[in-house]
Amino acid sequence: MGKRLAEITDDVRRFIEKQHVFFVGTAPITSRGHVNVSPKGLDTFRVLSPTQVAYLDLTGSGNETAAHVSENQRLTLMFCAFSGKPRILRIYCKGRVILRESAEWQGLLALFPDHVGIRQIILGDVESLNTSCGYSVPEMAFMGERDTLTKWSERKGERGLIDYRRAKNRVSLDGLGAPPTDIIE
């Protein structure tokens, strides 16, 4: 059934590349805080090496991941096979938030398709991976990517997105500050 791995193997990389959605899990240090789990898609995940991954984080209603990772670096990524052979993969990482002013920004950004509403990049240094069976995960057919976030971001425009992030993405539900992502290139 399940296996514990120290790094991303070729088999694991191929599995990741086939998935259309992944989930990001974080939590603050305090036990009174919220565990946050966010689904992600739109071809925003990359395996950089057997021990490093990154995903392009687009503007959204909250910024929990960045606030939690900035506080404690804990980051869990999960992939589920919704078609084909059942499988679940969890990647346990030390995470970092990469902002536009970072020296790493341009090199990482070049790995992703161009998206409207890019907020930041979340970089994960892999500590371990666990696979499990996924026998109870339903089988579902991929219908296509949703364009709702893209259209919303296009309507807002660059200035509107900056204003939105300033109003909605500076503080987590737990009261933690998130890194400022409102620099215009």
pLDDT digits (tens, 9 = 90+) for 4-54: 999 999 999 999 999 999 999 999 999 889 999 999 999 999 999 999 999
Q: Name the phi and psi angles at 164, rounded to 5.
A: -60, -50
Count of domains observed in the chain: 1
DSSP state of 47: E
154-171 average pLDDT score: 94
59-78 average pLDDT score: 96
Examine residue 177 and state whether it is found in any structural domain, yes or no: no
C-alpha dihedral sign at 164, 165, 167, 173: positive
What pLDDT, on the 0 to 100 scale, is given for residue 181? 81
Identify the band that residue 177 occupies on the pLDDT scale cut at 50, 70 and 90: very high
Identify the band that residue 184 occupies on the pLDDT scale cut at 50, 70 and 90: low
Examine residue 175 and state whether it is found in any structural domain, yes or no: no
Structural contact between residues 163 and 181, judged by C-beta atoms closer than 8 angstroms? no
Structural contact between residues 111 and 54, judged by C-beta atoms closer than 8 angstroms? yes
Candidates 15, 172, 10; CA nearest to 90 is 15
Within the chain, what is the greatest distance between any pair of CA atoms?
A: 49
Query: What rounded mean pLDDT belongs to the chain?
Result: 95
Examine residue 179 and state whether it is found in any structural domain, yes or no: no
Examine residue 116 and state whether it is found in any structural domain, yes or no: yes
Examine residue 183 and state whether it is found in any structural domain, yes or no: no
Question: What pLDDT digit, counting tens, does each position of 90-110 carry?
Answer: 999 999 999 999 999 999 999
Structural contact between residues 69 and 25, judged by C-beta atoms closer than 8 angstroms? no
158-180 average pLDDT score: 92
Examine residue 138 and state whether it is found in any structural domain, yes or no: yes
Examine residue 46 and state whether it is found in any structural domain, yes or no: yes
Q: Return the percentage of the chain with pLDDT > 70, whole number.
A: 98
C-alpha angle 111/117/121, rounded to 5°?
45
Q: What is the CATH number of the domain that holds 29?
A: 2.30.110.10
Q: In terms of residue numbers, what domain contains 43? A: 3-168
What pLDDT, on the 0 to 100 scale, is given for residue 2? 85
Identify the band that residue 125 occupies on the pLDDT scale cut at 50, 70 and 90: very high
Identify the band that residue 180 occupies on the pLDDT scale cut at 50, 70 and 90: confident
Examine residue 161 and state whether it is found in any structural domain, yes or no: yes
